[in-house]
Amino acid sequence: MEFPLSLAAADQFAARFECLVEAGSTNTVLVAHATGTAAAAWPELSVVVTDNQTRGRGRLGRTWLAPTGKSLAISVLLRPVLLSGETLPPTRLGWFPLLAGAAMTRAVRTIVEEATVPITDQREPENPAHEVTLKWPNDVLIDGYKVSGILSELLPSAGGAASAGAAGGAGTGLVIGAGLNVTLDEHDLPTLTSTSLLLVTGTELSPDAVLAAYLTELFGLYRSFLATDADPVASGLLAEVTRLCGTIGSVVRVELPGGADLIGTATGIDESGRLIVADQVDGEPIAVSAGDVTHLRY
């Protein structure tokens, strides 16, 4: 992967763009910029990216590791407000990880389809060569294998930094971090359930084009969401996440905060972005706002 990026595509979207040769965590870097003494120089839609993230973080305290030059770590600064200029209510914050996950799913679908389907192929849209889906809340899977993960973080406030999916007060903004496996081969994969764009498409894709595809989708969904005062129904975000989400209809195990497990069938997503799971014991629908989801196969 050639680095630094050409910036030709990325510069069309980002208010400010910083491409780093190396970073411990692009989220940490962007949070520091957005809250430091020079915060005014980092407007909304600023982007920090690297292909060498040495201390990447995932959900639930996990690490995100990849060999140098074979993945992208992308962090985007958002400062969402309602049309009135007021801060978004905390109940809407849980939608941002889902929004970013939907954006990455759409971008990866487009990339995979364009790279793997010849012009002469008459394959119907409902029967794609590869299945690209969103695993609630924000992992992107290709044929069931993880290619991308999202970590959203509120900017620190008086109470300190917090997860964007957590309950509590809102900060003045948030950082959306995404990790994407671009050119990892089978020997580089961090887990047996991971994959990369290279392994799926057989093509070494331009990182600039990949980045541009994601930012296009992310900023488009974000603007549509805010244009309706962050209403997930009116903006179409709930419908789009539901359409993309491969978790819905699957039998799942949810490791809940505190260590308890919930096993059942995921039946939908509610207006707060929570996953609805019908308990396998009594069929009772349970709304899950946080947890680690595993798709079970019998």
Structure tokens at 80: 């969402």
Contact (CB, 8 A) for 216 and 107: yes
Dihedral pair phi/psi, residue 236, rounded to 5°: 85, 0
- The pLDDT of residue 56 is 61
Alpha helices in 122-268 (DSSP H): 197-201, 207-227, 237-244
Q: Are 286 and 298 in contact (CB under 8 A)?
A: no
Q: Determine the residue type at 285.
A: P
Cα–Cα distances (Å) from 70 to 1, 41, 111, 124, 230, in that order, read: 6, 30, 16, 32, 35
pTM for the complete prediction? Answer: 0.88
89: left (phi over 0), alpha (psi -120 to 50) or beta: beta
Q: What is the pLDDT of residue 160?
A: 39
pLDDT digits (tens, 9 = 90+) for 9-62: 666 778 999 999 999 999 999 999 999 999 999 999 999 999 998 876 655 455
Please report the DSSP string for 164-178 in residue order.
TTSSS---S-EEEEE
All structural domains of the chain, each given as residue ranges with its CATH number in brackets, are: 10-244 (3.30.930.10), 251-295 (2.30.30.100)
Between 146 and 117, residue with greater pLDDT: 146
Using alpha carbons, select from 15, 17, 19 the residue that is nearest to residue 2.
19
Q: What is the pLDDT of residues 251-267, one digit of tens each?
A: 999 998 888 899 999 99
> 294 has which bridge partners?
253
- At residue 26, the pLDDT reads 95
